Chains A and B, each alone.
Chain A
């Protein structure tokens, strides 16, 4: 069992739909990251969370430390949101080192 698990692995949506990607982890963490990887490969850091909820534009990230669970929501999805979304955590004793989930491939169709 991976320390960080994401669901679903693949997600196809129609433009405008509300999207949720889930991340569960099994270790104590100091922070959780949501990353976006576009087809070209470059990675953008979307959020870093240690508690609560963060919002940036149409993206919302939440974390429940007690349940060891985080969600990434995309409102009013758009084809340009199509990418791989990766959940990653910093273990409590790992410093900057990240443990990655397998990623969720999101495709938003027009």
Chain B
């Protein structure tokens, strides 16, 4: 099956720093990538949808200046959490799609902001 690599798997950072998370489709070209956030014991919450070469579409309530998404190529999307604060601590997971409605998920990134 198709493989989506997400890196890093875990990051611990100090409050005020920025963290970049990468999502790569390894063996297919992803026209659309999705970024999700998951709080403990809760389901995934869609943060934004990104299409290659265009600006991401953010869900209501998600700060676009806080969560910067770049989808510069058909195999790479990045999520940058800017000026991270403890309330940004969460599990972030990406998925990639080439042929809707099929999505392939990354392994996720656990962010802890001290």
Residues of A whose CB lies within 8 Å of any CB of B are 30-31, 33, 35, 40-45, 48, 86, 90, 95-98, 100-103
A27 to chain B, nearest CB (A): 14
Asked if residues A96 and B34 are in contact (CB atoms below 8 Å), the reply is yes
Interface contact tally, CB-CB below 8 A: 58
A83 to chain B, nearest CB (A): 13
Give the B interface residue count (CB, 8 A): 23
Asked if residues B102 and A48 are in contact (CB atoms below 8 Å), the reply is yes
Tell me the interface secondary structure of chain A in the complex. Answer: strand
Given contacts A86-B43, A97-B46, A97-B49, contact A42 B108 (CB under 8 A): yes
> Which of A43, A48, A100, A101 has the most chain B CB within a 10 Å cutoff?
A43
B59 to chain A, nearest CB (A): 10
- On chain B, the residues within 8 Å of A45 by CB distance are 1, 102-105
